[in-house]
Structures are given as C-alpha cells and as structure tokens.
Structure 1
Amino acid sequence: MRLRTGSGLTGREVSRIYVTELPDPSRYVSAGELVLSGLLWWRKPGDAERFVGALARAGVAALAASGADTGGLPDDVIQACMRHRIPLLEVPADLSFAVITERVVLALAAGRDSAPDGAHRRLLEAAEGTSLAELLRQGALELGAPCWVLSGDRVVAGTEPGAPPGFVPDRRTGRTDTSAYAILPVRGRFRVPWRLVVRAGSWSPGLAEELAGLAGLVRARAEQVRRIGDRVAQPLFRLLAGGGGDPAEAFAATGLRVPVRVLLARTPDDGDLARELLGEVLGDSNAMLAEEGDEAYAVVEDTGNWPREWPSEAANVLSTLAGVAGFSRVFVGIGGPVTVDGLHGASQEARHAAEVAARRGDRIGVVAAADVAVHRLLVAGAPDELRRTVRDRVLGPLLAYDAAQGTDLVRTVRVFLEHSGSPTAAAKALHVHVNTLRYRITRASAVLGLDLTDFPTQVDVYLALHTV
C-alpha cells in the first residue's frame, strides 16, 4: 500500500480494523480503527467530505482505500483526508482486503499474546474462507467445545444441529438454561448484534475472544459482498419505488429466478436498520436488498416452498430482536409471488400490506397481501387525506348524529353490512329484536340520505367504515 496523505501521522495506534461502504459511517466507526473502503459510496466531487468528516470526528487511525472502481483514488478523497488530517493509504487493485485484514488481526493478536500460536493462525486461515460455519468448525476443534452464533434466538451458524440445548427459550415452558455456556459478543458496527455461544469447558478465554472477533470480521465481509452484489439490482428497486425502466432488463441483471416475492419493511428509525432487519428474517434466502429513506425492499426467490406461516415466523424473529436492536416499531408487507410482469404490482401490494400492519397498532407487524381482504388493501393504500375526505363525505352525518344523540348507529350499520345485509343475522349478533334492527337501519338511511339496502351503496359505506 502507498501512503498518499498524512506522512506525519503514521504513529497512530491501530486498535481494530473495519470495512465499510456507507456514505456516512459515523454511527459505526470508532477511535483507533483502520477503516477499509472500496469507495463504492463515491459518485461525484463533494461526496468525500461527509465520509472523511465522519472518520475524523470518530478519531479513526487511518483510511485504506481502493480506487479500482473509480480509476484511481479521486482527488476529492485525497483532499478531504488532507483537510481532516486522516492518513490515507492507497490499496492496489490486486491486493485483497482479506489479506490486509489478516495481517492486521495477526499483528493485534501478536501484541496481545506476545506471539500468535498455531491455534490463532489456524483460526485466521479459517476466517479467510467465505463461510461462518467453516470458521466455527475450526473454532470448535481448537476449543474442544461446540460453538454457535446466534442473532436473537435465530441460529446463524453452529457446529451442532439446531440451537444450543436449553439455551433458547422452550416454546412450551419459556424456560432457558445458559449456565452451561459462555456468551461472547460478536462485535461489529451492526444494529442487530450477534452472540458467540460456546459450551463451557477448560478452553482458553483469549482464544474464544479471538473466535468472536473473527466471526465479526466474517460477518462484515459477507455484508460488504452482499452490498456489492445488491448494486446490480438498483435499477430494479428504483422501478419498484415508482421510477421508470424496463422491468425485464432490470430483473435479468439480478440473476434471480421467477417467481419472486417483494418485501417492504418500514421503521421510523431508519432505512439502514430496516434493511438489516429484512436480512435477519430472510436468513439464507436468495434475495437482493436495498434501502430508501426509512424503508427497505427485498426481492426474494420463491421456489414453491414458501411456508404459509412465514409472516408469523418472521414476526417472532423480529420480536426476539426488539430488545437487543433497540428499534421502536417495524412493519413488513409481502407481495407476490409474481413473474417479471407483476413486479410493480407486487411492490404496491407489499406497501399496502405494510400499511395494514401499521394500522393494527402493534409494535411489530408482518402481513402478506394474499392474507388481506382486497377492500382492506385498497383502503390501506389510500392517502390519509383521501381517507378522511371519504369518511366525512359518506359517514359524516351519521357520526355527528351519534355524537349528538348518544346513539351507536355507526356500529349497527357496520354489523349489518358485515352480515351481508341480513337483518336477522345482524339482529342476532347485536342481541336485539329484528324489528329494532330494521328501525335502526331505516333511521341510519334517513340520516345519511342513502338507501342501505342498495348493493353499490352498501359497498361505498362499507369501504368508508374501514377508514374510521
């Protein structure tokens, strides 16, 4: 690597290494880190100020950047590093970030343990692979104990089938027993934390900490690879968000196979968290992700074995993450399955299903559009202002009458329509005489100036009732 700026600042101590491609990494970087970046966030002059400024405020040790995708290091990046006094190292195109990571981790391990032994070296070699499971297998061999990485209660990877026995709450009794395990944080700049769980034994605590640190590096590397891969799907996500383009061309670039489902996650916290939560519930599914504002999209292959209970299972996963990820609310809508021609419609279905989930008032909601009645999807998709206008125009007189007279004709009309306009069935549900029911419906018709026995009118009133 070649030093491009900061020749007088190279004495800074490096405490960790971190890879990021976020335009603003301020939430994730910390003092003493060597930051690696492929500059995927850089698009035009001026972009570097935000990124490098965040590094300077955090007190990072240095930035090592590759200009392979930008034709060399942009002058914008070099000048920003000079202004903010950040040492800048240029990474040659033929030098892998994995090699840099290995050297840094090895040096840190040497400083901590006086000399990295064979176990440390073997763990580092295992971390060079692409699989967290591969790293855990080597870790279990070195420690002489089974290992798992968990996200909430979800097993990300493990050396034995299923979750650690007794560690995850029993669904029937709710009991857990963690006394037989050591729990170490898998550190990294993620909103959803992972944990390394190792069965208790006489193994070296330092080696277990090393395994947890390498697991964090494998996770960060996998996320970087995924984000790079997701870039090819950006035209498709722009199309799903309402932009133009050829759906067939945009979809072909993703390499996914039809049919697919479209997922939309929304949280008031931020889109990056929504994207991370989508990634957690999708696990190893073949999918592509993107975030936009406080929302995130996913396009997921549906090979025909998509479980009908997936929404409830996803909601359970999100519930276990709520306490550790610190989010306030999250709603997920699911559209599809569809082929290429139905992609835009599936994205609208997903959006309206997320609206339905949000209107239920729960903190966490996962709703499939296929499980929602059509009229509810239509109402959920209407803007709030339009919903209020429809409610006031159709039901306004009856709402005012109930408020003034202390009656409940709105509820009577709702039950009447929910029972297909049958006076007998509605009277039974309301526990009143059928003649009383008929009188109330006649009175409500007069107040509204509508014939509530007319089918098109019933449809209008029923939709308006679902805006209340």
Structure 2
Amino acid sequence: MTLVKTLLELPGLRLRLHAGGDLLDREVSRIYVTELPDPSRYLSEGEFVLSGLLWWRAPGDADPFVRALAEARCAALAASGADTGGIPDDLVAACRRHRIPLLEVPADLSFAVITEQVVLALAAETDGARKRLLSAAAEDSSLPALLTYGAAELGADCWVVAATGRVVAASTPGPPRRRAAVPVGGRHAVPWSLIVDAELSPGGQEVAEELANLVGLARGRRDEVRRARMQVAVPLLEALADPACTGAELARAVEAAGLSPDESVRVLLARTPGADAAAEILDEALTAFADLDRVFVGEVGGRVDGVDGESWAVVASDAPWPDDWAEQAMDVLSVLGSGRVLIGAGGPSSVHGLRGAGEEARHAVQAAAARPERVAVASGVELGMHRLLLAGAPDELRRALAARVLGPLPEHPELLRTVRVYLECSASPARAARRLHVHVNTLRYRIARAGELLGVDLTDFRTQVDVYLALSAES
C-alpha cells in the first residue's frame, strides 16, 4: 500500500514535513487538488489533498479547512506557500490540532509534477499488490488462503458470502462487516460476493476485483471436483428419477454409491426453470440447513411437468434436521432468481426404503407446486399419508373420485362446511359444534341431512375416510 511516508520520501518531490510526523503510516487512496475554503462535500477517506492555499486570507481561515479534512479521514495535506509567503502558522497549528500530516511543496515545483508522481506511485503499488496476490494464489488457491492473501493486500478483513447470506469463507471469524462488495463472476443460480471491511480506493477496487476473479476460479475448480466426486452417485440419482427402474437396478446403484443397508437416508427433489439451477439451489439448501455426513446431488435432464429439468439428492446422515427446515429453506431461497423453485423431501428411511422415500419426495414436490409461494418446500412428513396418496393420483382421477363421493353436497355450502369440520374433529359432535358455534343438536341434524343427500351413514368409519379423502382431493 502507498503510505504518506512513501510520498514524503520520493526524491523528485522534495516535500518537507511541518506536522504529523507520527501519522505517516496512513494509507493514501488517491490525490485531490482543491482551492475551496470548505471542500468537505468533495473529500473521501485516504485522499492526499494538494492545495496552493488560495483560500487562505487571514489567521483563522485554516481551522475549518483542516477540520473538513479530518472529518473526511483524509491521509494528509500537501500545501504550497508560494502565494502566502510560506506556510501560515495557523495552518500548522490546525493540522496538529486535528491530526492531519502537513507537507510543504517547494515553490518551484508544479502541481502537475506532484500529481503525476503520486498517481504513478499508486499505480505501481496496485500492480505490485495484484502481482503478489497472483503469485500467492499460484501456491495455494483455496478459498481460505485467497481471502488471507487478499486481506493482507487490502489491509481489511474479507468474506465470501452467498446470495442466501451464507458465509462461504472468511479471512477472520465472525459475521461479515460490509463496507464494500464486489460480485464474484460466473453464471450461477446462487451468486457469490466478496465483502471487504473497508472503503475501497480506486487501486483497492482493482485489487478487490482481482481477488474476486480468483475466488470465481476457485469456485469453478471446486465445482469440477464436486461433480467428479458425484459421478459415483449418478446411477443412483437416475434410478430414483426413473419410475420404471427395477429393484435390482436400484440395488446395484445403491451399492455403487457406497451406501450400507443400515444407513438412514433422506431423498430430496427440486424443480426449477433449469436443471443446473435446481442442483445448485438444492445443494445450497442442504449446505445451509443441515449438518450432513454424505450428500449426493445431481441434475437429471429432460423436461418434467413444464420445467427444464429436475435435481435429486440423497442424504446419508443420522444428524437430526430442524423441525422447521422447510420454512427456513423457503425464507432463505426466496432471494434467489425469479422463477419458481419447488422442493419435496422424503424420509427419513433405511436404504431398503429408498424407493419409497423417493416417491414420497416426488409427491411432496407436487404438493409444493399447489402452493401459491414462488419458492415452495414440502416434506412428506408434514403432509400426512392421505395427502401423499392423493398427490400421487392424476388430477382427473382425483376430481372424478371427489365428484362421485361428494355427489350433490358441494351445492349446499353450509352442509359441506359442517361435514368438513365434523371430520376434522374426529367425528365428535360436541367438538364440531363448538368450532361452528352451533348447538350440538343442530350439528347432528346437519350431519344426518348430509348423509341423506349422499345416501350414506356419516357415523360409519369407512364412509368417513372416503368422504374426508374426497374433501381433501377437492381442495
């Protein structure tokens, strides 16, 4: 980095120190020339301010000018006393009072020469920082190492953060302190950003952009390694995606993936407008919300139900999942993209029940598709067996069965609501009457009337199951 003392030591400038000898380690971000009595609106941190003191007329003029430099956290003031008979004493006093280094510019030295020398020094330092960063990356290009190198060059802590808010890597422990952000390149469904805890100078911006490029390359390499590692599970994921896959084929795929019969597994299915995006989003959801032992994630090509593709995941882990995992995933993933994101989860089950967990995930994602949210996540556990069974039936079949069982009941809204509440209350007349705010005899009359319309006995358990399923299918 370019420091005030670096510029003071440039032999061609012949600058002379008047105040702030203990402040020469301040970093210089750029040079700014001004003759305004109050330049505060144009100043920024780290600037090396150059002035011919045309604004100075009498003692007392210096304090507001220097105070503005101090409040903007400028690096130093270089002043020429050619038009004032030397550096005014009140300027020296103001710089000492407000802790601004004061350097005198020789009367015979033009500001153009100073500006050129400072710009060259800043450019050389930026080029040097970029070269050092590239050289260090050649030795160790891992994300933690890159951020450590970058933090040293930028003089500030750095983080790589996913668009979901997840911290991917950091140069220091703790949450990100965002003062500058640089996007990490690449086409991804889950973009990354480089967060820097500093206001970046033009040179610092270039170094940060170089660091972001290196982070993007590291991400690409990591993705390639991950895809190569996932190749062993491709037959397993394809078997889950193919309803026609035989039990023997699935067993061979399980064995090839290295899953043992006693392992606990979960199956997830994601559908988005792109298969690659589905895999990346599903991977992000798993990374953010579960402490997992082994995860196999991969996309399966071909259009499915109006989307470009789908991605499957098999998770082998005994670690408990949060009860509200689906809600958390919906909240976090809602910041990604603009198309619909649907995720269904099946399990947990043993490896022997893997196909069942896959079917559960398939039905859960269909239930997610019926929700209004752009990002919808459904779990087979939360849906209940009857909804899973209904989700697996074609829409035409569900409508036909509902119409056959419910008959004319939908034409009587009060009776329809009464039957629904009655069944939701486990066929308890007293509980249903309380929910509907009616007398229990009124409730019994309505149930009897509904039974007459349907030609069935609504106190019979099997009939209750049929009607409840029909009501669920209709909704």
Aligning the two structures, in what range does the TM-score lie when normalised by the shorter sequence? 0.5 to 0.7
8 Å CA contact retained: 1:127, 1:135: no
The one of 306, 318, 322 equivalent to 1:303 is 318
Distance 2:449 2:469 in 1: 20
Question: Where do 1:390-409 residues align within 5 Å?
Answer: 390-399=401-410, 401-402=411-412, 407-409=413-415
In the alignment, the residues of structure 1 paired with residue 472 and residue 174 of structure 2 have an alpha-carbon distance, to the nearest angstrom, of: 44
Output the amino acid matched with 2:188: F
The answer to whether 1:281 aligns with 2:285 is yes
Is the Cα contact below 8 Å between 1:332 and 1:357 reproduced in 2? yes
Decide whether aligned partners of structure 1 residues 202 and 319 sit closer, same or farther in structure 2, where only a CA change above 3 A counts: closer
* Distance of aligned partners of 1:256 and 1:350 in 2 relative to their CA distance in 1, 3 Å threshold: same
Give the alignment partner of residue 341 of structure 1, picking from 328, 335, 352. 352
One-letter code aligned to 2:433: A
**What is the CA deviation profile of residues 390-437 of structure 1, one whole-angstrom value per residue up to 9, with x for unaligned ones?**
1111113212x32xxxx4211111001011111111111111111211
For 2:137 and 2:382, the matched residues in 1 are separated by: 44
Secondary structure of the corresponding residue to residue 408 of structure 2: helix
Q: Counterparts of 1:326 and 1:127 in 2: how far apart (Å)?
A: 37
Contact 1:120 1:207 in 2 (8 A): no
Q: Distance in 2 between matches of 1:130 and 1:249?
A: 38
AA aligned to 2:180 is A
**Residue 133 of structure 1: CA displacement?**
2.2
- Pick one of 438, 444, 447 that aligns with 1:438: 444
Matched, 1:350 2:348: no
- Structure 2: gaps (5+ residues): 1-122, 304-308
Any conservation in 2 of the 1:357–1:367 contact (CA below 8 Å)?
yes
Q: Secondary structure at the residue paired with 1:320?
A: coil
TM-score by length of 1: 0.66
5 Å-filtered alignment, 1:382-421, equals 382-399=393-410, 401-402=411-412, 407-421=413-427
- Within the alignment, does 1:376 sit opposite 2:391 as a pair? no
Q: Is the contact made by 1:281 and 1:314 (CA closer than 8 Å) also made in structure 2? A: yes
* DSSP 3-state at the match of 1:335: strand
1:260 is matched with: 265
Tell me the distance in 1 between the aligned counterparts of 2:226 and 2:471.
Answer: 45
* Amino acid in the other structure paired with 1:363: R
* CA–CA distance in structure 2, aligned partners of residues 447 and 124 of structure 1: 83
Which residue matches 1:43?
A: none
C-alpha distance in 2 between matches for 1:198 and 1:382: 52
User: Residue by residue, what CA displacement relative to the aligned partner does 1:335-356 show, whole Å, maximum 9, x if unpaired?
Assistant: 1222321111111111122222
**In 1, Cα distance between the equivalents of 2:465 and 2:459?**
11
Aligned-partner Cα distance in 2 for 1:195–1:277: 16
Matches of 1:338 and 1:130 in 2, distance apart? 39
Distance in 1 between residues matched to 2:398 and 2:175, nearest whole Å: 47
Counterpart mapping for 1:80-119 below 5 A: 117=128, 119=130
Is 1:231 paired with 2:231? Answer: yes
Task: Tell me which residue corresponds to 2:250.
Answer: 247
Gap change, CA 1:127 and 1:414, over 3 Å in 2? farther
Distance 1:127 1:448 in 2: 78
- Deviation at 1:113? 8.6
Instruction: Give the C-alpha shift of residue 114 in structure 1.
Output: 12
Relative to structure 1, the CA distance from residue 296 to residue 138 in structure 2 (aligned partners, 3 Å threshold; closer, same or farther) is same
Which residue type is aligned with residue 339 of structure 1?
A: S
- 1:276-308 per-residue CA deviation (whole Å, 9 max, x = no partner) reads 111211228531212234321111221324333
**Corresponding residue for 2:334?**
319
Q: 1:277 & 1:410 partners in 2: Cα distance?
A: 41
Distance 1:142 1:115, change over 3 A: closer
Using the alignment, how far apart are the partners of 1:337 and 1:123 within structure 2?
46
Which residues of structure 1 form unaligned runs of 5+?
Answer: 1-111, 166-177
- Tell me what 1:104 maps to: none
1:248·1:340 contact (CA, 8 Å) conserved in 2? no
* Residue 135 of structure 2 is aligned to residue 120 of structure 1: no
Q: Deviations over 1:85-144 (max 9, x none)?
A: xxxxxxxxxxxxxxxxxxxxxxxxxxx999963653444543664632222122112222
Q: Distance in 2 between matches of 1:277 and 1:373?
A: 26
Q: In the alignment, is the contact (CA less than 8 A) between 1:145 and 1:200 conserved in 2?
A: yes
Aligned length: 333
Larger radius of gyration: 2
1:215 counterpart = 2:215: yes
Sort the Cα spacing of 1:451 and 1:128 in 2 relative to 1 into closer, same or farther, 3 A: farther
* Structure 2 length-normalised TM: 0.65
Alignment of 1:35-184 (within 5 A): 117=128, 119-123=130-134, 125-126=136-137, 129=140, 131-152=142-163, 153-165=165-177, 178=178, 181-184=179-182
Asked if structure 1 preserves the Cα contact closer than 8 Å seen for 2:160 and 2:167, the reply is yes
Is the Cα contact below 8 Å between 2:326 and 2:377 reproduced in 1? yes
**Counterpart of 1:265 in structure 2: which amino acid?**
A
Residue 228 of structure 1 aligns to a residue in which SS? helix
Partners of 1:128 and 1:410 in 2: how far apart? 72
Distance 1:116 1:254 in 2: 48
> How large is the Cα RMSD of the aligned pairs?
2.4
Amino acid at match of 2:151: A
Q: Secondary structure at the match of 1:290?
A: strand
Query: Residue by residue, what CA displacement relative to the aligned partner does 1:333-389 show, whole Å, maximum 9, x if unpaired?
Result: 111222321111111111122222222322222222223322122222222121111
Distance 1:449 1:202, change over 3 A: closer
Partner of 1:77: none
CA distance in 2, matches of 1:127, 1:356: 49
Query: Which residue, 191, 194, 199 being the options, matches 2:192?
Result: 194
After superposition, the C-alpha distances for 1:422-457 in whole angstroms (9 at most, x for unaligned) are 111111111111121111111111111111111001
